[in-house]
Amino acid sequence: MIRKLHCILRLQGAVSQTLYRQRTPTIFSRNYATNEDNANSDSKSSSSNNNNARRAGAAGSSKSLPAIRNPFAAAQEKTKNTYLTMVEIFEERDVHRRNHVEFIYAALKHMPDFGVEHDLEVYKALINVMPKGKFIPTNVFQSEFMHFPKQQQCIIDLLEQMEDYGVMPDYEMEAMLLNVFGKKGHPLRKYWRMMYWMPKFKNLSPWPLPDQVPDDTLEIAKLAVERMCTVDLRSKVNVFETKELKDSLDDTWIVSGMSPEQSKLLKEHSPQKALYIEGPFHIWIRNRRINYFTLRADADAEFLSQLDERQLDEDDVSKIGVPFFGRPPPRRHNQLGKVRSVHQQDDGTIFAICATGTSTKDSLLSWIRLLELHGFATLGEIPVLFRFTSTVPAKAEEIAGPSNVPARTSDTNSNKEHSDINS
């Protein structure tokens, strides 16, 4: 009986408390209403209606406004110091750091505008914006089912942007991710995968580039021509200036690449067969694009017909002769006779490649004349044709005029223009 009385008393107390909570707002509102002046009730009712209308209008207009202001878009000075200063201001503005995910996404979007997309220090500063210790999973279900998905996906996108721009993280970033998301967080797993694969691919390219690619277009053109000339290790890269020619219109540089084998083929080329300047083709040096041109001729069908059909390809790994039981290795069939070089392909013979500062027709004519002055006197007797495979840049229109610039693939004989310049 005593237990039943206790239960009834507790139930009655809980009901009375709920009733009191439900009544208190109405009581307070009534008291607030009764304490008001009754003299100006009509004017106050009209003003309250106006205030309600203003609040409704403000609520409707707030839907079209952004949640937070984007300081990166309004910045006038686009430098690294300005970028880091805005990040520090956001960190000191609020202890709780509200809207930190939106701030990080806005910062990632405007990184190229400030030129900091390749800077590891800036990525660390953005990770440091995240609150520490709040997003660490406490059990296996939270760790596997990606608890706090919005924050974790934000940092994963940051790491993916680092991967896209080729920025390799360091061990300090691992400690920062460990303090924010814990040992079982998904961003830390992404970091471990990056640290496994990125060092493997960093030095895998046979054409290594400096960490800071030079901004000078001439230096980038040298790197591009040297990379393409590695097909023949004896190739030499020369830099010419069009100032050496009196009648040259373009005042620019020309980076030319040619090997001794190509020089021999060009000297032995028949004057009755035309040469072709083709291009511009594109080669990428990291994030910089360089236009280059080739000097080539049609394939020598007579020479290709004299080659031994049983010639073996050294790079064909599908036919590897392995001797068994003391048998001698198979005899090579291409040890005697004519063997074509790597520059003599089935579609043509490549004599040289070049990259110019303006990629115009006049600069290419200057290239031919400079080759003629440096040991290839027979070029003055050989017809040279142009084959532009893409639209010539606007610089060509400024020099040669829009009517003289071919916009599509075309063949134009340059003997007449060549003789005019020589005269």
3-state SS track over 229-263: HHHCCCCEEEEEEHHHCCCCCCCCEEEEEECHHHH
Query: What is the β-pairing status of strands 344-345 and 236-241?
Result: unpaired
Q: What is the pLDDT of residue 5?
A: 55
Q: Which of 220-234, 335-349, 361-375, 384-398 has the lowest mean pLDDT?
A: 384-398
% of the chain at pLDDT higher than 70: 69
Q: What is the pLDDT of residue 212?
A: 81
Q: What is the pLDDT of residue 313?
A: 65
Q: Where residue 38 falls among pLDDT bands split at 50, 70, 90?
A: very low
Higher pLDDT, 65 or 90: 90
Q: Which residue has the tokens 């009986």?
A: 1
Distance CA 137, CA 148 (A): 9
pTM above 0.85, yes or no: no
Q: Where residue 3 falls among pLDDT bands split at 50, 70, 90?
A: low
Q: What is the pLDDT of residue 181?
A: 93
Q: What is the pLDDT of residue 321?
A: 65
Cis peptide bond N-terminal to 280, omega within 30: yes
Q: What is the pLDDT of residue 323?
A: 65
Terminal alpha carbon distance of the chain: 127
What are the pLDDT digits (tens) for 227-275? Answer: 999 999 899 999 999 998 888 888 999 999 999 999 999 998 988 999 9
Q: What is the pLDDT of residue 57?
A: 46
